Amino acid sequence: MMEQTAGGRSRRPLLEVPKWDSLVRAPPLGSHVLQVYEEPRRQVEVASLFVAEALERGERVCCVGSTLDTAPIRKALGDAGFDVDSRLRSRALLIANRLVVNDEPKRPEENSPQSVTQFLHDTFEGVPDRYPAVRLWINPTDRFFEDGRFEQAIAFEQSCHERRDVFPWSLLCAYDARKLIPERHAAAFWDVLRNHSHLIPAGELGVALELFPDGGGP
């Protein structure tokens, strides 16, 4: 039986989809977990658990997203008892509002975007000597899938992917289904699914399959 989504679409049942709990708490090293969410609270819930578990395990964790994305995560960590400022000072937690993969800043708070090269250097510094692993959380929808910028996003993904054999790391990408436009994003979305063997589509991939049911074909 089809489940109705908030938007009135019929949700396709998914078979053999990994459960969020194990993926978020202890993702396989080298994995790329995909979350497509419809409600902002789901983004915060999943991201906060992903980050909190990393900090509890003594891992380095890095978040990439706008201030609107990362502020609720910081608040959730504080509510959970983490001294966020202390974690930032010790560099166990890194937050980048924007990376220079997509040309010029688009929002007022993004005046000094960090270069991908510097970000990756900072991210993997001390791993695995001081940190057993590193986790990356990224919300890339409105950045990485915009026209003319997908190749730059893939270059960033490839830079991370090349470190799979060198560093123990895992990646969680959060995509806002409300910003995914079938006519513009289907081909790019399915290109990611087809060409990244380490990618693990988690439960909310069902939202994406509703948006792009034809596999991104012409």
Phi–psi pair at 68, nearest 5 degrees: -65, -30
d(CA 199, CA 182): 21
Tell which residue, 196, 171, 139, has the closest CA to residue 59.
171
What pLDDT does residue 2 have?
Answer: 36
Domain segments of the chain: what residues? 27-211
User: What value does the mean pLDDT of the chain take?
Assistant: 72
Q: Which fold has domain 27-211?
A: Rossmann fold (3.40.50)
Distances in Å between the Cα of 113 and the Cα atoms of 1, 64, 98, 117, 202 are 47, 11, 5, 12, 30
How crowded is residue 128: how many other Cβ atoms within 10 Å of its Cβ? 15
pLDDT in tens, the chain (218 residues): 334 434 443 433 333 445 667 778 888 887 777 777 778 888 888 899 999 999 999 999 999 888 888 999 999 999 999 999 999 999 999 988 766 544 444 554 444 556 667 777 888 889 889 999 999 998 865 555 554 555 665 666 667 667 767 788 888 888 777 777 767 667 766 666 666 555 555 545 555 555 556 655 55
pLDDT of residue 42: 83
Predicted confidence at residue 16, as pLDDT, reads 44
**In angstroms, rounded to a whole number, what is the distance separating the alpha carbons of residues 166 and 121?**
13
Instruction: Give 69's contacts (C-beta < 8 A, 6+ positions apart).
Output: 43, 63, 139
pLDDT at position 111: 45
